[in-house]
Chain A
Amino acid sequence: MREVGAEQITKVVKQLALEAAYQLGDDVREALREGLRQETSPAGQDVLNQLLENADIARDGEFPMCQDTGLAVIFVELGQDVHIVGDDINEAIQEGVRQGYEEGYLRKSACHPFTRKNTGDNTPAIIHISIVPGEKIKLTLAGKGGGSENMSRVMMLKPSDGKDGIKDYVEQRVKEAGSNPCPPIVVGVGIGGTFEKAAMLAKEALLRPLDDSNPDPELAEMEYELLERINRIGIGPAGLGGRTTALAVKVEMMSCHIASLPVAVNINCHAHRHKEVVI
């Protein structure tokens, strides 16, 4: 049994919150550059150049990439042989988010659903904990902006809709989202499971590096085909028209009920912020 202090978890979460808001991942940068090479629309090229410049300014640590620094979503893979000492793991994570958002001058975007009163410290963060073998803890923080999250959906398709129905649904969703989620976007697709599991799969799909593809050849092909289809729509960077509507499509799938075909589309903007650390 390995012991890990709750204060260490707080420290790590705080650091992840800061990094996510200020440091655009190399995979996203490379995808934006690749988009720039392919883009035929002058307005689209202009936007992509601005986004790369924006990432350079943010890297200095004074201005976050985007003013919407998101709700903090934290995924924890907790080794079953780890014993957390000192405090409750949930509270340790919340405290890390509190400190990171305060000290990093990040925007607090959490509010009461009815009164819309801001909670003042960006908590509660959304925490997903899963227990895994081993004695390590993997913490991943995603800063999820409202603009792109609002464009996400779960749909219970009919089994007869099949693979084509899924692809049509994803394309349709991106079309309807249009310029709202700050294209170029990253599209996470969750297929199967139940209503809530499909949404989780879609969210987890967004944690994958942009340049990988699904190890299942059928899903890898689907990712490729969907990306092609989405980039034919014409929405383009910032929705001004162009080729670069999505940087990547990531699909995750599992079995589902014989009566169901759940599909979830979780959209992320180009401020594709997620950082992970293993303790």
Chain B
Amino acid sequence: MSEPIILTPPLKDEDVSKLRAGDRVLITGTVYTGRDAAHKRLVDLLDEGKTLPIDLEGQIIYFVGPTPTRPGKSIGSAGPTTSYRMDAYSPILIERGLKGMIGKGSRSQDVIDAMVRHKAIYFAAVGGAAALISRRIESCEVVAYEDLGPEAIRKLEVKDFPAIVVNDCEGNDLYSRGVEEYALDEMEVNG
């Protein structure tokens, strides 16, 4: 495997255009969290023509609802949640300047199209490696929707946060490529 690419948000079109499905990256800097309920609220605000509680320009949203933080720690366990539940909302946020999303699992064609049109990236973190990932998160602060508990929007400062590019802005998809590459047909097994 090749060396990981270092990324520091806010991301620009040039940063995003260079990335290809399958690239490993290490993210350092600010990442926002958000999942089902927070996404709904953000999109409802946009529908009403109101301003968002966070500026999305060039930012990355990490789909995560961490466990409660123990005293003396910066965050609890914080692995990715399944992304398709955000598919209805992501294209609207991408249109508004969102450049990256971190989650797990496939995205809809609408989201992939929005990523191609507006140059954005979908990254996967390893689902279930939540304790390991927490070690790369240096601080965590709730910046919106505290009432949502684990679903509140948090501002994370991360260092060397490991992720892999699943969908790039040319429409490539690592998941379908991975399955094609490793699928065995009957012949190979029986022959």
Contact = CB atoms under 8 A, between A and B. Distances in A.
Contacts of B181: 41, 234, 241
Contact of B182 (A57, A107, A179, A243): A243
Given A64-B77, A67-B81, 18 more contacts: A50-B129, A57-B132, A62-B73, A68-B65, A107-B150, A146-B81, A147-B104, A179-B104, A179-B106, A179-B127, A180-B105, A182-B104, A232-B189, A239-B104, A239-B106, A240-B178, A242-B178, A270-B128
A18 B69 CA distance: 16
Contact of B180 (A234, A240, A271): A234
Interface string B106-117: 100000000000
A236 B164 CA distance: 15
B180 A63 contact: no
Contacts of B64: 67
Interface in A226-279: 228, 232-236, 238-243, 269-271
A65 B36 CA distance: 22
A89 interface: no
Nearest to A53: B132
B105 A58 contact: no
B182 A42 contact: no
Contacts, number: 168
Given A64-B67, A67-B64, A179-B104, A233 B179 contact: yes
Interface residues of B, number: 47
Interface residues of A, number: 51
Contacts of A8: none
A232 B187 CA distance: 11
A66 B77 contact: yes
Interface in B90-148: 104-106, 124, 126-132, 134-135, 148
B78 A233 contact: no
Contacts of B183: 232-234
Interface string A118-161: 10100000000000000000000000001100100000000000
Contact of B150 (A65, A109, A147): A109
